[in-house]
Structure 1
């Protein structure tokens, strides 16, 4: 028997109230933003979400960040088949109900995740005779989607249907029904909840490649058949520095088919221990993802998988890797948080000198310590990479200290080509937006040790000239380039 909405809400609020009471005397809050991620995203008609599991609700630090920063919630495990129908015809919606009620109590929408997936699938499904699989799938989808009707924004109807080579996985559903199982699943979900957005969700389809081409072809076929499908989920489980340069173009081609696109499970794993350079690159990666979404009208939002490094799935799955989210082990914001805020057009208030505490990124600031030219025979070198398209570009700049003295606070002056105008930046503030500009360090990347380097980047529009600046000067001293 299903619980009613009110009973689900009452049950979950009891859990939340208990967690709040337990943590009321020692709630850890992140450095405050001028405007939260969710508010900044909402101002641009997007959302910024996270994933939660039921055990997270008793962690007051995690809950504090989740409720202040995110406006979309994806249940990590509680709506998957092994939880919701562990044995044939026996349904368990209690864990999912608790998360839905938590989301409702904190004005968060819910991404339903998921209805059909080859993994976390009870053995009874795989053991069914082939001629019984379709009925079992349709019953499962109908029962779960009906149970949450009106309470989810969207469903990942079929999760991870493809192999990396672009072929469909030969799981229980494909083996019993062939390629038609995907269309059948979408039609069944739509019949159960006509107002929910219906997605196909997968990883390694963020850029243009064999796998995303296969997804694109599948979607074209589904649309030609009149199958109800509303969106494509790009999981976006990245490795540091490997956000595809074609991500925006890939989003745009799905959007051109009339579909929404969403970044559904974002994280960016780092080989541990994470260095300051790693964190700077991670900030650049997050900024790129957010900026790509902002550039595509039908990209509806970005969701991070988990709230912070302490609850991330990465260390338990990828040995030696971690530090994959915007928040550290203590739920304090990292440079990636600041970069996401900056990409969304906001600034943050720095309240400490911690290297993971963001500083203002909306206007130039004075360096952390007095700005001075590199001395004692010091020198600098700047490398610069421009990635341009149509009327836009991204530029990643690395400053290397090739001298013998540390740089404590930096300003890098350069001139943008005619027609270029900066729209956002990460790991630095840049002013003015065109012509002769100056990039100024943030709080966490002010120092450049001898032999060390820092990196920052910018996104700009252009009117035809996407060339890089011809020269750079660091704190008034000309730098070598190359």
Structure 2
């Protein structure tokens, strides 16, 4: 995506459509196993020491985790509770990864669906699994504007701080000593470098971030505390704003240990300034981590696409290796079959290093080579690359011109992924006219009860009713036969329907 923003794509992956996105199936709090309790001291002491070197588990020499550990790093993945029943997926995860991030099970809508009523069962199941397979845990996440129960947003502003502090304290205390780190505040920034005006900002101003960090530290002093966001991988307005914030937090003595770079890339768009950006945060005394890596491709993926993806994955790993305080890389998901990308970015996929059958792709071999290993074979699966789905970017705005598609021809395809009170919509605009579009506005009606909370790859105004999506600086031109993908997250009151019409620069578009 970008300059640097174009690299991005979209916010933290929403719930995979499991029982209901954002909620993992399963009963409430469960008793932890003795084995889980026994390793608590080990995990806590490792976090306290700040050491990233792990005792190497028995694994083939070419496993990503053993190669990363040899360099003082980790290589992780994200799992959801439903993944644990897939033996093919878990065999790869067990062999390759030594850090685990719960996909949804520690988010607010799962852990505290109603005020003061906590459900740690799904998160406990994943922590137990991680412990049993010698994986550490990245706690994800404590405060986020998305997957936030409606009761939080409905609170009077003078009650939000107490609710936030109670939630952080209860969850961080529950997992005290069992997580390596916490994403304390997730995605606090807009792409233009302003803070999101969510329930927390509206109630407390920018000070909510410092308060959240202090509260998390008080509850679990040995966990590493991170701010995590997307579109901050390279040097740009968003990462500059975060850098300034972190400088201020450090000067105030606020406990913060690291920055998470989500890294949901579009093929060929890893920013050239990623290493320099990592280095400047590291120079402040912070760890940096690549927390949610994937690299989406417009389908069908060609062999050239997969080769470029391998180059992209290697570039990210090499950037991390070049910065001492880059502690590790985590891919978001294990393989293309469990990736969030196809469900959120229509026409995209093939975003991970393993294909739909969990066979390694060229990106796997590129990572092994970057980490100094042999690319002869994978320790968990045969080396047979393949293909699957992929997706798009996000950044700041520019003003469109009045160029309409030649002949007024445009086509729109959209996909809605809805859960209890929220939805994500992915919209692909294709220029089917005879001349390029330079500068565009797409107008469409949102269904009654839907309100956009954030979007990517376009500026949206207003947030409900008849909406106009205007191009950003990096996606202003749509060539003949070309497409651009945009999207947004929205709340809803029961109607999850897609827009019934679209017009591009005043010209009606076909839908399909």
TM-score normalized by the length of structure 2: 0.64
Equivalence for 2:150: 123
- Note the 1:173-192 alignment, pairs <5 A: 173-192=200-219
For residue 67 of structure 1, report the CA deviation from its aligned partner.
Answer: 0.4
- Note the 1:288-307 alignment, pairs <5 A: 288-307=315-334
For residue 34 of structure 1, report the CA deviation from its aligned partner.
Answer: 4.0
Cα separation, 2, equivalents of 1:350 and 1:217: 44
| SS across alignment from 2:160 | helix
For residue 35 of structure 1, report the CA deviation from its aligned partner.
Answer: 2.0
For the aligned residues, what is the CA RMSD?
A: 1.7
Equivalence for 1:434: none
Distance 1:136 1:333, change over 3 A: same
Equivalence for 1:250: 277
Cα separation, 2, equivalents of 1:146 and 1:349: 44
Would you say the 8 A contact 2:361–2:384 is kept in 1?
no
Equivalence for 1:221: 248
Distance 1:343 1:135, change over 3 A: same
Q: Quick check: 1:322 aligned with 2:349?
A: yes
For residue 114 of structure 1, report the CA deviation from its aligned partner.
Answer: 0.0
Cα separation, 2, equivalents of 1:47 and 1:168: 31
- Rg bigger for which structure? 1
Cα separation, 2, equivalents of 1:151 and 1:9: 8
Q: Quick check: 1:87 aligned with 2:124?
A: no
Equivalence for 2:54: none
Q: Quick check: 1:162 aligned with 2:189?
A: yes
Would you say the 8 A contact 2:185–2:227 is kept in 1?
yes
| Relative contact order, higher structure (CA 8 A, sep 6+) | 2
Equivalence for 1:98: 125
Deviations 1:101-141, CA, capped at 9 Å, x for gaps? 00000000000000000000000000000000000000000
Equivalence for 1:196: 223
Would you say the 8 A contact 1:9–1:98 is kept in 2?
no
Would you say the 8 A contact 1:36–1:69 is kept in 2?
yes
- Note the 1:78-477 alignment, pairs <5 A: 78-350=105-377, 354-356=384-386
Would you say the 8 A contact 2:291–2:332 is kept in 1?
yes
Q: Quick check: 1:57 aligned with 2:84?
A: yes
Would you say the 8 A contact 2:106–2:123 is kept in 1?
yes
Runs (5+) with no aligned partner, structure 2: 1-27, 38-58, 388-512
Cα separation, 1, equivalents of 2:87 and 2:100: 17
Runs (5+) with no aligned partner, structure 1: 11-31, 358-482
| SS across alignment from 1:264 | strand
Equivalence for 1:41: 68
| SS across alignment from 1:5 | coil
Cα separation, 1, equivalents of 2:384 and 2:141: 39
For residue 256 of structure 1, report the CA deviation from its aligned partner.
Answer: 0.1
Q: Residue 67 of structure 1 is aligned with which of 66, 74, 94?
A: 94
For residue 3 of structure 1, report the CA deviation from its aligned partner.
Answer: 4.4
Would you say the 8 A contact 2:182–2:226 is kept in 1?
yes
Distance 1:65 1:175, change over 3 A: same
| SS across alignment from 2:228 | strand
Equivalence for 2:419: none
Deviations 1:374-413, CA, capped at 9 Å, x for gaps? xxxxxxxxxxxxxxxxxxxxxxxxxxxxxxxxxxxxxxxx
Cα separation, 1, equivalents of 2:314 and 2:181: 25
Deviations 1:212-233, CA, capped at 9 Å, x for gaps? 0000000000000000000000
Deviations 1:192-212, CA, capped at 9 Å, x for gaps? 000000000000000000000
For residue 4 of structure 1, report the CA deviation from its aligned partner.
Answer: 4.5
For residue 355 of structure 1, report the CA deviation from its aligned partner.
Answer: 4.6
Would you say the 8 A contact 1:203–1:236 is kept in 2?
yes
Would you say the 8 A contact 1:33–1:349 is kept in 2?
no
Cα separation, 2, equivalents of 1:159 and 1:126: 16
Cα separation, 1, equivalents of 2:207 and 2:383: 57
Q: May I ask how many residue pairs the two structures share in their alignment?
A: 336
Would you say the 8 A contact 2:177–2:223 is kept in 1?
yes
For residue 5 of structure 1, report the CA deviation from its aligned partner.
Answer: 3.1
Would you say the 8 A contact 2:360–2:383 is kept in 1?
no
